[in-house]
Amino acid sequence: MDRSTDIELRLLIEAIYLKYSYDFRDYSGASVKRRVAHALRQFDCKTISALQERVLHDPTAFMQLLQFLTIPVSEMFRDPSHFLAIRQEVVPLLKTYPSIKIWIAGCSTGEEVYSMAILLREEGLLERTIIYATDINPNSLEKAKQGIFSLESVRAYTHNYQQAGGTQSFADYYTAAYDYAIFDKTLRENVTFADHSLATDSVFSETQLISCRNVLIYFNKKLQDRAFGLFHESLCHRGFLVLGSKETLDFSAYSKQFEPLVKQERIYRKS
């Protein structure tokens, strides 16, 4: 791609922001560029300008493009040792709160939400917990609300669950129907799914724990700092922040305002 492509890309991102208020301007450039290039092929558009014209005049086309711009790669109990560390190091402290609010930011299609709900149920905390599960992609949120996952992927999740210190049989949490696993809807009784953007929205509640995993890698440093600022504001005194296995506060302006609880597992506490 040449320089004109970079200009077109900036214009597209700006147009999306002006028209639809979705703000990708401070996303990491290399990945956005690849995803737009991928979308071009799917939309059968020759140039980004042509794609821009389409999405500006057709909200349905924008919703399709949004599916390319967001990355719904997730799994339940991803990085099992992370969930084991939450169980062992964080849960005992969470138990000291009479009621608990948890924010799962960038929850995508819900895998992180169900993982957390299952862990909390096994620790006897789910009934006194409210989980806010937020994402910018309404299609992902809709899938998350349904809690239906392919049986094939659930087989991999089962392995993760066991490694993560699960105390039951994972099959207790879902009903198999054809090729799908329908998750127990009581797991999401206290879950509020909501549209929220870390790029444009503000804090909506005080929380004891925030989980934001494999979301921040798609942001540039400036937007990461905005997100860390929101998390810092939302978390109660000594609240917990948990990140993805390759995400770190080390390069952030907020690195001093959190301290690692289990550094290897990216579990931090507000200082």
Site residues for other proteins per CB under 8 A: 1, 6, 28-31, 33-35, 71, 73, 79, 81, 214, 216-218, 220-221, 224, 245-248, 250-251
Q: What is the smallest separation between the CB atom of 118 and other proteins, expressed in angstroms?
A: 21
CB of 88 to other proteins, least distance (A): 18
Buried-exposed string 182-219: b where 16+ CB fall within 10 A, e elsewhere? ebbeebbebbebeebebbeeeeeeebbbbbbbbbbebb
Nearest to other proteins of 87, 101 (CB atom)? 87
Q: Which is nearer to other proteins, 112 or 247 (CB)?
A: 247
In whole angstroms, how close is the CB of 57 to other proteins at the nearest point?
28
> Between residues 32 and 94, which has the closer beta carbon with respect to other proteins?
32
State the Cα–Cα distance between residues 178 and 166, nearest whole angstrom: 25
- Residue among 31 and 200 whose Cβ is closer to other proteins: 31
State which residue, 248 or 257, has the beta carbon closest to other proteins: 248
Instruction: Look at residues 170, 210, 213 and name the one whose alpha carbon lies nearest to residue 82.
Output: 213
34 or 95: CB nearest other proteins: 34
In sequence order, what are the beta bridge partners of 135? 195
Which element (helix H / strand E) includes 208? strand 207-212
Residues forming a β-bridge with 191: 131
φ, ψ (nearest 5 deg) of residue 176: -85, 135
Residue 222 CB, nearest approach to other proteins (Å): 10
CB of 184 to other proteins, least distance (A): 28
Q: How far is CA 98 from CA 86, 125, 204, in A?
A: 18, 10, 20
What's the angle, vertex CA 152, arms to CA 159 and CA 34, rounded to 5? Answer: 100
Shortest distance, position 93 Cβ to other proteins, whole Å: 25
Give the C-alpha separation, 207 to 103, whole Å.
Answer: 7
